[in-house]
Structure 1
């Protein structure tokens, strides 16, 4: 394994200062860090003052394989993740076949290991087909390597099924991850129910569909003692429910997606399905609440809910188009631009939300700092120069993003796994 020096990088210090340093990597780990290190290595990368961070972690991605490779594959999804600066992702189980059995789970696990250019951990399903009321054999699936359990894309409609699932997940010491959605309150909706849906004459999804099921789950989580993780929180009521549950000692963590932090229903510019996602974009008050919840620690992390679709699946009316947007190539960049550069948050907080808290919550074997002894899973970001997002630059098969045309800072220059380059935007920074 070749040795490598990254010189003139800036790293985050605990006082939120960026300190310039050189970093030496040998045998896949960081072995030395100091300014102007005079050591010989096989390769040298001049970072030119760019930000060096531990590789980002995304606990919510859809890589679509097996079953839906026309939307995305593990190869394209993991390369897109590397382009976004991610080195570990957790892949959702809404696949075909759904990983509800050990056999199906091992099939997708093998694909992840064979085709992923980064570390792709795999969720198993709570129940067969994501809809069955009978809980899967979590003991066997955990032994096979399931990182956690979820029926993402479908809310668990039966309280008994959720209680049984939480008890089983607690028994095997794995998080139970919930897409909270009461289907009886969705009622064919395609965007948030309210004044904006009325203006656009589009059927609305009652936001109570999220918060009502979340309230149920939090009560059951408290009773079972499971680690309960809430996917893509989007309403002010949901934020408050998690806040209260944490005060009561419930073992709950929660994520929010970049689009719910940065957009609301007023940004929907007509019948444009690039803005169609589930949960939908909510009100400006909801957006303010999820930002506040992230800042005060009620919400623990950012997760992209990267959901690529074929072009023809989004070139339709809101009614009939697929739910979801692609996001793994733009999430750090958008958040750095709109939260850090604007002064709302610090880059240290961004590292907390996109590296440290996800690693801790899911007990991941991933580095959480740029430090001697840590694995060299790293990402280098250009935080000083503006870039405009274009549709033709995506590595993902999915180009279904409402952020195309946005100007951002923090483009990924390079991503490394175990000290090996898995993505680079600027080969010229490498000096042989």
Structure 2
């Protein structure tokens, strides 16, 4: 079995640009969920989100002619490639897998909004050229000189994690020896309004696993990892952040928006990932949960975790309580968080957790980060339509 290591990390998050900034926010338990400034929110039940600060976007060094999502993605991808110290020759052979959903929808909405309100044709119509999710892979591949296989994964909120799993498959199958993988999503009106219409957004910052939780908080981000054959990484004298021990992707196709009531697909994803990693459940010290803060997700995920690990037998926390649900970027952003947790021996907290739901039989690390020596950890990502991805990382 080919061993796969993570030789590069790159992040643009609601805390700002860079992996160090991201980890500093998580470790401090700083909540980045605030009133939205990017779009109009009057009249909505929830008016908050985890937005990438305007000064951060302006300072990314990416042309403002690009879509907001492409600007986030390019900056995060460049950091990951620089961290991995990949040469131009290395990049020419590097695969690219991008998890995406929104594409350039924000700019498409700007065009539609302007035409509808003015009653006149808008020159913003050119934004429609970048509206599809696949445009991220085209932009990143061309701008960064990535000449290997290119894929776009659209699996709802599990897209970023699925991109990591697919990149690992490409390396194990010999299609590439190195892959840039991850996800990106920007805030959009359609996402914000849609989740508000479903009454899935909490008017206050989300409270995963809390008895009184009322829904999730959306966010935006980009996070990329460089995956590499461990032998190749060692041969070129590069360091790595950890090892991707195993990954699994399942679907239960139970309902368009609701998870299977017994977490059937979640359980299969975790057990298959453990099998792929050749790791027993008791060897996992921490789970970075999908943990959205909705009534159904948290209870179902806790049920699935109990079936796999046993009630109370693993530390669990949700970083979405700090940076919101970043949609297609969530799985890769949380993969980075999981790797950093292993590196630093510090588990990020679940913010705003005051009264644990009695149906959640786990220590969910309330409010304050906790030191914990860890060797292996699991990251869960679940999406609408029953999309389930579990990733296992080791130090």
TM-score w.r.t. the length of structure 1 is: 0.28
Higher-RCO chain (CA-CA 8 Å, sequence separation at least 6): 2
More helix by percentage: 2
TM-score when scaled to structure 2?
0.30
Work out which of the two has the higher radius of gyration on C-alpha atoms and give 1 or 2.
Answer: 1
